[in-house]
Every structure is written in C-alpha cells, then in structure tokens.
Amino acid sequence: MIYNERDTRHQQVIEAAKQMMTAARTAPKAKGCDIIEVALVTEEDITALSNALRAIGEERNRAGMIRDAQNILAAEAILLIGSRKLAMGLNCAYCGAATCEERAPGVPCSMNTIDVGIAIGSACATAADLRVDTRVMYSAGYAANQLGWLPGCDYIIAIPVSAGSKNPFFDRK
C-alpha cells in the first residue's frame, strides 16, 4: 500500500494535537495541584470559534481579533488550555499582595497563570517536536471562554495547529 502525505495529513495533525494535550496535562503544576483544563476543537467548532471571535472583534473595534478570527480558519485543530482558580497558599506575593489572604477579590493566584504558561510551553514544545505549526493566541482563547467551552476556567489560551508547506499563523497582515 502507498500512503500519500496529503491523504494522511489531517489525521496526523489531530494525533499531534492529542499528544499536545497530553503534554499540557503532564506539565509541572504548582504544589502538584491540577487546575488545568485542556480541550481540542476541530471542524465546525473552529468555524463557531471564528464567528464568536469576529463578533467580539467587531463589537470592540479590535482589528487584531478580526484578523485572528480569519486566521484560525486555517487550523485543522485548536488546542484550548485554561485554568480554574485555586489560591495555592504560598504567600509568594507575585499577585501583588503580601499574603494570599490579602489578595484582592477577582485577582487570580499568579501560580494559576504560571501553570497555564508551563502547560502552553509543554504543548508547543511537543508541537515543535512533531513538526506541526502553531501559534499561541489569547484572542481565540478569550472567545472560547466567552462561549463557555471550558466550564470553570477563568481564562483560556488557544493554540491553532496546522501542517502545511508554510505556517499560516505568521506573516499576517
């Protein structure tokens, strides 16, 4: 049997994105507390995410969001990585308060944000190892959050994934 890369590419991107999900899940987390949520968006849900992002961009007059809404349509999969709130009780002061108890209402524990960043780094490192194209996008993550796609998460970052002759997520106008 002969397999043409063009015929197997989409499935390979999906498998790479699943491995990225595992990398995000197994990334180190503050105090070993797993507050990360990870999901994979494909097919018609990419279009729904694009439509939501475009609407937000138009409502807020944000050209970058409108551009990103068009840009994610080139993705074959989009990874979503979000975080639930959990104060780690480290009194690290990274949030600006001297202690966790003094942290202002609504201010996330900095460790939660750091955990998301580490998960993103692990996922993107896996993507690089597997030679698929990505870009980290707060904008598409924000739209996913507005859609309620990772319940309980206060913020989400999106990573569109593609495999083509050129990364479609860079050199944008």
Give 86-116 pLDDT, tens digit per residue. Answer: 899 999 999 999 999 999 998 989 999 999 9
pLDDT surpasses 80 at 171: no
Neighbours of 62 (CB within 10 A): 15
Give 38-90 pLDDT, tens digit per residue. Answer: 999 999 999 999 999 999 999 999 999 999 999 999 999 999 999 999 899 99
Burial 6-24 (b: 16+ CB within 10 A, else e): eeeeeeebeebbebbbebb
Q: What is the number of domains present in the chain? A: 1
* Structural domain harbouring 145: 5-162
Give Cα 5 distance to the centre of its chain: 27
Q: Quick one: tokens of 68?
A: 């990103």
Q: Which CATH number is 47's domain given? A: 3.40.109.10
Residue 13, domain member (yes or no): yes
